[in-house]
Structure 1
Amino acid sequence: MNISRLLAGTIASVSALLLTVVGCGQSQDGVVGTAPPATVDSHDHPSEGPHHGGLIELGNEEYHAELVHDDAAGTVTVYLLDSAAKAAVPTEAPELLVNLSHDGNAEQFKLVASPEASDPVGKSSRFTSSDAELAEDLDHEGAAAQLVVTIGGKQFRGNIAHVAISMNGFLVARAVAIAVLATASLSCVHDLAYAAELNQTAEKKDETPAQKLSTEFREAAERATPGLVTIYTMRGPHETPEWRSMEARGGTHPSTQKTSGPAAYPDAGSPDEQGSGIIVDSQGLILTCHHVVAAADVVFVVLPDGRRFEPVEVYSDPEADLALLRIEGAGELSAVRLGNSDELEVGDWVVSLGNPYELKRSVSAGIVSAMDRWVPGIPHPMIQNDAATNPGSSGGALLNLDGEVIGIITGAFGSREEFQGIGLAIPVNLVTDFIGSRNNERPPMQAYLGCQTQKLSPEVAKQLELPVAGGLYVKDVEEGSPASKAGLSEGDIITHFDGQPIDEGFRPEQLHDEPKPEEKHAFSVVRGGRSIAMVVKMTGYPHERMDTQALAAEHAVTPCEYFDQALGMGLTTLTQDVARELRIPIDQKGTLITEVAVASPAYKEGLAAGMVVVRYNEHATVDPKLYETAASSAPADRPVLMLVRSSKGNHLVVFDVQ
């Protein structure tokens, strides 16, 4: 290597890695791929891409690949661009490869498709990896990386060779990017030989079957992780355990009236419940389970980067146990890719991705145990699998080995809280129907009858002298449902459905699975020993749509010395007797919280009756009067820093400026 040529080309970028793009050819000293100075560009395209990354030519300037290596975030992103290196070029390829070699070791990494908002459905112009090893290896001295990408069914390769030397105590780095097309001209023979050698080296790396499977699991989880979120919900009044105990014992109460009924959760210091969700649209549409958000007074979505948002809309289907949450102001998000659950077979490997027990991303693997598993009370078939499912996993993703979502985790089947090896997930093909129904793009996924039934055995049917060897006993009929309007009642026995006898071969779920909304179906029913014919007009399952910004109920003021209307909490003077009951030092000075209005700012930040406000910004709040003075003098454009005391110690609560 001609060191003087290397220094001349790299002295301008001693603080960072310079990506320089050249075509096929050979330098004067015989080193393949030595680039001309950055100021000399033999091709008519920018020196960097739209995202300020280095450019790699693909083919005869047919396309470009822009490489953005974010050391701080530990991510590597590649954008596919047109011949002018300006416009995005979406491709159907689910991933692109990076074959990397250094110190005699060869590794292969995958960058998965992360579609931009402007990309067509099913295509992506952006590919990302958060693999710390890839980011680190790209910085490795002497590392050589080869980019392999398929565009329009044609494979292109771009090789990036890194060379580094030390000069006056600091590192000077230079990157040489060479684009290679499989059908390149003879003038590119040196580049082709180097690319082939690098590719063969990567392929020679032996992996055991277990290592290959481990890699598949890891990469599948990595593809979907950017689209995994945590869902927090709050329900019912907020009270500390000591406050509830004091009320239950009839202890000293600072007000003349109870502030609220029994609390819905044991610890006011943390959210009531927690679940998982996935991003299904980059503009802020989150999918989770209905039971995660059902009857919640407050819902929060926490993104992978830690930002917290309160959804502006919740669209829910209680019967299907699905819910869509819409958030605003989050910018462009990384959406998961939805697969095809109809392609699953028993024995296929699956990966579960969720946030159980308030832990961050948790990955588990298993196999499909059964398809079309019908579970009592659920109107559609489920995917049974043995990947671990624990509290907090509901709403998470069940993935195939391509990292595509093929199911939404709903929970586990069993009588005990710990996982019994039977996990259940809603097939993603049903989920796409539900997402479409939100925008009225297609009808609800299943017909709604509105009754619960239990199958009768042939033996019982014979004893009852029924006309069929079976039947469905009607256990319950929902008021106002299609079944109720048709005249179906509790105690009826359904013997025929559209002329088909309900015997051992009949699945009760067929009453919901096969009919479509607005269709009419014939039922034969035995009531009091007589056979009755009736026609039922099915409807779609009723969906719930809530505007969460209007959920906060008006506060019914209870007796207190001061009620903070802005934050939504009642306050009174703390006495030594009450402090003792609440397990707070009897010499503690502060203002006691006696009530927190549901869905108020104080409620959303976890404050509860039984806590003591010690400071409001820079003011000590010895009594409600001083609290009121501090609140009234607080600048409107600055956050409120509130120091709160409970039996667990002091806590700082920050109320952001609205």
Structure 2
Amino acid sequence: MTKKIVLIISVLWMSFWTLPAVAASVNLPDFTELVQSHSPQVVKIGAVTKAKVRNYGYQYPDSQDLPEIFKYFFDQSPYRQGPQQQQPMESTGSGFIVSSDGYILTNNHVVNGADEVTVWMTDRSQYHAEVIGTDERTDLALLKIDAKGLSTVEFADSDKLKVGEWVLAIGSPFNLDYSVTAGIVSAIGRNIGENYVPFIQTDVAINPGNSGGPLFNLDGQVVGINSQIYTRSGGYMGVSFSIPSNLAKNVYEQLKANGKVSRGWLGVLIQGMNQDLAESYGLKKPEGALVTQVMEDSPAAAGGIRNGDIILEFDGKHIDTSAALPPIVGRVQPGEKVKVKVLREGREKTLTLTIAELPTQDKLAQNGSAPHTSSNSLNIVVQNIDPDTASKLGEKGVRVIEVDQGPAADAGLQPGDVITMVGSRKVESVGDFDKVISSIPSGKAFALRVMRNGSPMFLPIRIE
């Protein structure tokens, strides 16, 4: 009897410790089939920039005309041999096949400036590749090889990607062909410097050589293109960034059809919202993109968008943060009509705009009478701006001459700022300014629109 009890306890004890391992094996994904099926769609890319001849431009006299003591030094000089040839530069990256007739997508920085591009398949076959087109804004490039009947990837709808999903990368980091790493989606919609790319952040190990390779979901579909890493060492540190597949597919189709990419252009300067600004506009929480300036002759100007509007929706898509707006606008084809929902003076308003093409260089807004000492509740001194300044700004306003301790100073207002709006009301003179400020009750938060060094911004202010 005692032996039976001991045996039962032993079995239960072993089961207790093995259950977590069994559960883990059930829950963790098995990538083997995915890797086997989709590795042939991934390629290794080598780019070579040919050696350039440099002429240093040094002129040396003929050594025969020199005194004997100096002949040795001039004859041994490396510059005496004339132009010098630099070594060719080589770089490697990854890519993936997007059409059976040989189109391949990769990062622009992998092939940028290359004189020769070579593509290797998993079976070690090798092809010369032609660069069909590149797009610097998204860091994408389209290549073409002379091949038929290739296995191709399938693009996923990256808009449906969720934080926490498993993802897998295949590429050639450090020239180690077809290495596989996996992880989860850490965040989506990251803005890390390029306004037109809402990056996918993952913890997948990405290193030099992975650039341009695909990021797969568990269905074997491409959800992103591995592009950048955050690092202080030059290698992987747990934070990687990928270009969403929806954006990549759009760029691929345009490069294939036209050799270049056209983007939608709205023509506004925007800033993000914080809690104080949200409260001053009657919002319960910070959301949307606050329009600080509408550019002249832009789709926004033609469609009726005004300075101080908060863009809440664009083409049916909610704008949660200001960073979300540029990628959505950029994906709209020039000439298309879109509906834009804005918040203006406490009320929502829907406008219809015709989107134009983003100019090669974005238009940038350029940035008086005796000072007027005001006993206003902001504790600032202002003056009217002269006609020339108003002409450069494209609007009237009052210039800040002095900022004393008070709510304006706490909000960051500086001498030299030009105030153009208080709340939703325009300020065209010192009289307008005094009238508007005097009408604001104590304890109410409001937004002050100013021009600083040629750039517009809104400052949230509360008069206590």
TM, length-normalised to structure 1: 0.38
Aligned-residue offset at 1:434: 2.7
Aligned to 1:423: 240
Residue correspondence of structure 1 range 608-619 to structure 2 within 5 A: none
3-state SS, counterpart of residue 509 of structure 1 = helix
Higher helix share: 2
Do the aligned residues in 2 keep the contact of 1:347 with 1:369 (CA within 8 Å)?
Answer: yes
Query: Does the alignment pair 1:516 with 2:342?
Result: no
Aligned-residue offset at 1:486: 3.7
Aligned to 2:394: none
Call closer, same or farther: CA 1:334–1:215 in 2, change over 3 Å.
same
Residue correspondence of structure 1 range 51-200 to structure 2 within 5 A: none
Q: Which amino acid aligns with 2:200?
A: I
Aligned to 2:122: 304
Query: Does the alignment pair 1:495 with 2:308?
Result: yes
Of the three residues 104, 110, 117, the one matched with 1:292 is 110
The 1-side partners of 2:282 and 2:313 are apart by 12
3-state SS, counterpart of residue 495 of structure 1 = coil
Of the three residues 194, 211, 217, the one matched with 1:377 is 194
The 1-side partners of 2:29 and 2:278 are apart by 55
Aligned-residue offset at 1:389: 1.1
Do the aligned residues in 2 keep the contact of 1:283 with 1:333 (CA within 8 Å)?
Answer: yes
CA deviations 1:300-347 (Å, max 9, x no partner) are 22222333323234222222322211111x343222233333443221
Aligned-residue offset at 1:252: 2.2
Do the aligned residues in 1 keep the contact of 2:132 with 2:256 (CA within 8 Å)?
Answer: no
The 1-side partners of 2:116 and 2:154 are apart by 28
Aligned-residue offset at 1:401: 1.9
Of the three residues 20, 44, 67, the one matched with 1:230 is 44
Of the three residues 35, 38, 52, the one matched with 1:221 is 35
The 1-side partners of 2:216 and 2:208 are apart by 19
Aligned to 2:140: 322
Call closer, same or farther: CA 1:338–1:223 in 2, change over 3 Å.
farther
Aligned-residue offset at 1:429: 2.6
The 2-side partners of 1:351 and 1:395 are apart by 14
Q: Which amino acid aligns with 2:161?
A: L
Q: Which amino acid aligns with 2:33?
A: E
Of the three residues 65, 75, 79, the one matched with 1:253 is 79
| Structure 1 alignment gaps of length 5 or more | 1-206, 478-482, 525-534, 544-658
3-state SS, counterpart of residue 216 of structure 1 = coil
The 2-side partners of 1:415 and 1:505 are apart by 31
Aligned residues: 300
Aligned to 1:640: none
Aligned-residue offset at 1:355: 0.9
Q: Which amino acid aligns with 1:323?
A: A
The 1-side partners of 2:359 and 2:120 are apart by 28
Residue correspondence of structure 1 range 525-604 to structure 2 within 5 A: 538-540=355-357
Q: Which amino acid aligns with 1:318?
A: E
CA deviations 1:190-220 (Å, max 9, x no partner) are xxxxxxxxxxxxxxxxx94555567722222
The 1-side partners of 2:135 and 2:227 are apart by 13
CA deviations 1:538-586 (Å, max 9, x no partner) are 445689xxxxxxxxxxxxxxxxxxxxxxxxxxxxxxxxxxxxxxxxxxx
Q: Which amino acid aligns with 1:253?
A: Y
Do the aligned residues in 1 keep the contact of 2:313 with 2:341 (CA within 8 Å)?
Answer: no
Do the aligned residues in 2 keep the contact of 1:368 with 1:385 (CA within 8 Å)?
Answer: yes
Of the three residues 150, 155, 170, the one matched with 1:338 is 155
Aligned-residue offset at 1:277: 0.1
Residue correspondence of structure 1 range 250-289 to structure 2 within 5 A: 251-256=77-82, 258-259=83-84, 268=87, 271=90, 273-289=91-107
Aligned to 1:601: none
Do the aligned residues in 1 keep the contact of 2:95 with 2:104 (CA within 8 Å)?
Answer: yes
Aligned to 2:387: none
The 1-side partners of 2:278 and 2:159 are apart by 36
3-state SS, counterpart of residue 224 of structure 1 = helix
The 2-side partners of 1:542 and 1:233 are apart by 30
Aligned-residue offset at 1:436: 2.9
Call closer, same or farther: CA 1:520–1:214 in 2, change over 3 Å.
closer
The 2-side partners of 1:230 and 1:448 are apart by 35
Aligned-residue offset at 1:233: 1.9
Please report the RMSD computed on the Cα atoms of aligned residues, expressed in angstroms: 4.8
3-state SS, counterpart of residue 222 of structure 1 = helix
Call closer, same or farther: CA 1:497–1:523 in 2, change over 3 Å.
farther
Call closer, same or farther: CA 1:536–1:295 in 2, change over 3 Å.
farther
The 2-side partners of 1:269 and 1:210 are apart by 50
Call closer, same or farther: CA 1:405–1:512 in 2, change over 3 Å.
closer
Aligned to 2:171: 354
Call closer, same or farther: CA 1:316–1:254 in 2, change over 3 Å.
same
Do the aligned residues in 2 keep the contact of 1:472 with 1:495 (CA within 8 Å)?
Answer: yes
Aligned-residue offset at 1:237: 3.7
Call closer, same or farther: CA 1:388–1:343 in 2, change over 3 Å.
same
The 2-side partners of 1:215 and 1:523 are apart by 42
Call closer, same or farther: CA 1:334–1:297 in 2, change over 3 Å.
same
Do the aligned residues in 1 keep the contact of 2:266 with 2:298 (CA within 8 Å)?
Answer: no
Do the aligned residues in 1 keep the contact of 2:265 with 2:299 (CA within 8 Å)?
Answer: no
Aligned to 1:392: 209
Residue correspondence of structure 1 range 30-49 to structure 2 within 5 A: none
Call closer, same or farther: CA 1:282–1:213 in 2, change over 3 Å.
farther
Do the aligned residues in 2 keep the contact of 1:300 with 1:308 (CA within 8 Å)?
Answer: yes
Do the aligned residues in 1 keep the contact of 2:93 with 2:211 (CA within 8 Å)?
Answer: yes
The 2-side partners of 1:506 and 1:372 are apart by 10
Aligned to 2:372: none
Do the aligned residues in 2 keep the contact of 1:456 with 1:473 (CA within 8 Å)?
Answer: no
Call closer, same or farther: CA 1:440–1:375 in 2, change over 3 Å.
same
The 2-side partners of 1:281 and 1:232 are apart by 20
CA deviations 1:597-654 (Å, max 9, x no partner) are xxxxxxxxxxxxxxxxxxxxxxxxxxxxxxxxxxxxxxxxxxxxxxxxxxxxxxxxxx
3-state SS, counterpart of residue 167 of structure 2 = strand
Overall identity of the aligned pairs, in %: 29
The 1-side partners of 2:159 and 2:115 are apart by 37
Call closer, same or farther: CA 1:269–1:304 in 2, change over 3 Å.
farther
3-state SS, counterpart of residue 241 of structure 2 = strand
The 2-side partners of 1:339 and 1:220 are apart by 15
The 1-side partners of 2:220 and 2:290 are apart by 43
